Copies of this chain bind each other. A is one copy, B any other.
Amino acid sequence: MQQLFTPEKKEKISSLIIRQIRTAIMQGRLKPGEALPPEKELITQFGVSKHTLREALRALEGMGLIVIRRGAGGGPVVSRVDWETARDSFADFLHFQDFSLGHLSEVRRIIEPYIARRAAEIFTPEADAELLALHAECRRLYDEGESLVGAEAEIMFHVLLGKHAGNPVLWVILDFVNNMLAEAKRKMKPGGDFCLMVLNGHQRIVDAVLARDPDGAERWMREHILEVERELERLHAQA
């Protein structure tokens, strides 16, 4: 038999407080840097106990929406949600999905050639210099025999290309995918030949970007991504 009445949902008080504060921030009624009233006052404003209020504040802190400092003049302050927090949440979600290296690589295959093309089109001399510095760092790592693959500099090489495209949405997708992939790559412990392949791939992309050759940059990036993908699959099959 069908339910006749709605289940009269009793939401937890702390959830109500969380939503109130969160929507106030989202509607711009509370801006980053602005301080919320201290605990004592919030307790009276919301009409709840200290414990209950603190649960709400702790949850908001976990979301990265506020930071709480203690001591005189302290208290909860609205803050910008940083990328680390958002990325963690997204990684938590993906942990329960069944996805593979291939899925991450497919996303790269779609986005990164476009990014490389844009870089060749719009890079400024300053961006060129950053790219060269990062590539030099990659080469140094290789020359000193350290594992290039999965290293911070190798991730940043890819992320940097997107950084100057001025699209934050694209940028975070790029950052996320490359970081997830790097984590997996580090576990595989690829050999020196793999690193050399990566380095050469990067070299061709750098050359094309600096030569302001969008077609070349796009093509070499695609080659690079595919090469890496093939090699990772081979390593994965071995293990």
Is B103 a contact of A110 with CB atoms below 8 Å? no
Is B168 a contact of A14 with CB atoms below 8 Å? no
A161-174: CB near B (< 8 Å → 1, else 0) gives: 00000011110110
Could you tell me the distance in whole angstroms from the C-beta of A15 to the nearest C-beta in chain B?
9
Q: How many residues of A contact B (CB 8 A)?
A: 47
Instruction: Name A71-102 residues within 8 Å CB distance of B.
Output: 80-83, 85-86, 89-90, 92-99
**Chain B residues whose C-beta falls within 8 Å of the C-beta of A55 in the assembled complex:** 54-55, 58
Is A97 a contact of B65 with CB atoms below 8 Å? no
Partner of A92, one of B86, B103, B106, B172: B86
**Chain B residues whose C-beta falls within 8 Å of the C-beta of A170 in the assembled complex:** 103, 106-107, 110
Is A90 a contact of B86 with CB atoms below 8 Å? yes
Query: CB of A177 within 8 A of chain B?
Result: yes
Copies assembled:
2
Given known contacts A93-B81, A110-B110, A62 and B169 CB-to-CB distance under 8 angstroms: no
Is A18 a contact of B62 with CB atoms below 8 Å? yes
**Chain B residues whose C-beta falls within 8 Å of the C-beta of A83 in the assembled complex:** 93
Could you tell me the distance in whole angstroms from the C-beta of A31 to the nearest C-beta in chain B?
10
A170 to B56, CA, bound (A): 33
Query: CB of A37 within 8 A of chain B?
Result: no
Partner of A107, one of B54, B65, B167: B167
* A interface residue numbers (CB < 8 A to B): 14, 18, 22, 25-26, 32, 51, 54-56, 58-59, 61-65, 80-83, 85-86, 89-90, 92-99, 103-104, 106-107, 110-111, 114, 167-170, 172-173, 177
